[in-house]
Amino acid sequence: MTTDLTASPVAELRALSDLIKASVDKIEGLCSERGQTYPLSNLPFTPQSEAPRMSPDVMAEGTVIVAAAAQLIAAVRPPPLALLTQAVQYHVSSCMRAAILLNVAEILRNAGAKGMHVTEIAAPMKVDPAKLARVLRLLATKHIFKEVAPDTFVNNRLSSVLDTGKNISDILANPESKHDNTPGIVALMEHATGGGYQFSYYLSDVLMDPEWSHSAEPNESAFNRAFNTPLSAFEWAALPENAYRRKLLGIGMRGLQGAASTEIVLDGFDWKSLPSDSVIVDVGGGIGSKMLPLAKKFDHLKFIIQDRPDVVGNAAEFWNTEMPEAISSGTVQLQAHDFFTPQPVQKPAIFYLCTIMHDWSDKYCIKILTLLRAAAGPETQLIVTDNIISYASPQATLPKDIPGVVFSTPPEPLLPNNGEANIMPYLADMQMLTGQNGSERTVMQYDSVFEASGWRLTRVHMDKGFQSQNSKIIGVPL
């Protein structure tokens, strides 16, 4: 049913508010049926408290609420104020970084409902309490921390996620070990707030440069302008002086992949149907954490984990901890390999690439996939797990003969790509573009890259809940 947005001057506002109300009612009903309590914003985050929100049907309604609420705000806020507010959002990132580095969430962990005055929060780090209060007040205005009385703050559902769980005395004694043996999300937040906006600033400079604007090279991006380096982001990160940055990203990515790896790998492909002793090659697979759920569930498969020598050198410890018999039995093999050189494994059942393609421009993705195609057998399948970008307009013509490429449409008048509720792939796209000319891609763009490298796209599996970063793009040799 099409919503007539010209029926009255506030037709769009009413349609959006009706969507929000309807979804809130559905969430209330679902939680009531299950005897669950929806997580309260003023209580700390725990996996147990989040359980009601994480069920797929509740998440689907939450997606509608986020998309509609953001669109409603855009519709009612005066345009100059809306644009200026967006223009200075980098202050939120800077304040988040300050809160992480000053260990505010850890300090507030035992503050209780009455909270802690900023003079007490500032004391362990020996910083100016008046300035810290201003930082925390902006975050509280964005619902990160809560100001329960003037200059008195407490953790809430969002800010508690920034708590590593470590004692403040231990962190102060050894700051660089703050993220060791933690789930990794805070390390990822510290990394994300630690430089991306610096090179994002230079995006316009690169776009207006007659040569760099059209460049596909990983060392001709906004990152290179920001840090005045001829090295690609990967090469720059490998420098000795950037060891802590590498450590942060490694801990953060392992935590992120570990939390979602079971769903990422298992969903959307029938692994059980592969013949006994089928070989899965995890190309650029890091320490192999994404293969662990498969190795545990399907004992008829064999796995080769490929990455740089320094990375796979650390993989043995991971497998010896998580699945001690995997390497000794031959189920898992660790192999140093540069995916820009000829692929040593011939005719495997699967070449698997998870969050690899988005790091590179089409030129380099085609190089990677062409080398894999040269090593593929007639039955080899290619599985790419990555973001799929959707248009913010009604969908363009898509190849209907490829299962999975027609996406479900959200209710009107929401944006066809779910707007703010699905913003992460678009932010990731800018991170890739400014970082080293990488790219998140639409289905048609994947189809083009596949075809140019000798593969035929046969199927797409979209991740549940319209969160496209865990989607699978599956192909076979042309």
Mean predicted confidence (pLDDT) in 312-327: 92
Query: For residue 262, what pLDDT is reported?
Result: 60
pLDDT of residue 468: 54
pTM for the model stands at 0.92
214 is catalytic: no
What's the pLDDT score for residue 2? 60
At 3, the pLDDT band (50, 70, 90 cuts) reads low
Q: Which residues have CB under 8 Å from 22's CB, separation 6+?
A: none
Q: Is pLDDT at 166 greater than 90 in this prediction?
A: yes
Residue 338 confidence (pLDDT) above 90: yes
Q: What is the mean pLDDT of residues 5-30?
A: 91
**Range among 97-111, 186-200, 313-327 rated most confident:** 97-111
Query: Tens digits of per-residue pLDDT, 73-122?
Result: 999 999 999 999 999 999 999 999 999 999 999 999 999 999 999 999 99
Confidence of residue 271 (pLDDT cuts 50, 70, 90): very high
* Confidence label for 196 from pLDDT (cuts 50, 70 and 90): confident
pLDDT greater at residue 370 or residue 392: 370
Q: What is the CATH number of domain 271-477?
A: 3.40.50.150
Domain 90-171 top-level CATH class = mainly alpha
Instruction: Write the CA distances from 148 to 122, 127, 189, integer angstroms.
Output: 17, 21, 25
Domain spans of the chain, in order of start: 11-84, 90-171, 179-266, 271-477
> Quick check: 401 pLDDT over 90?
no
What average pLDDT does range 299-327 have in this prediction?
93
Kindly report, residue by residue over 422-477, the tens digit of the pLDDT.
999 999 999 999 999 999 999 999 999 999 999 999 999 987 544 455 789 999 99
pLDDT digits (tens, 9 = 90+) for 228-242: 999 999 999 999 999
Determine the average pLDDT of the residues in 246-256.
82
What lies within 8 Å, CB to CB, of 236 at 6+ separation is 223, 227, 229, 242
Catalytic residue among 179, 191, 337, 358: 358
What pLDDT does 465 receive?
47
Residue 466's pLDDT is 43
Across 356-360, average pLDDT: 97
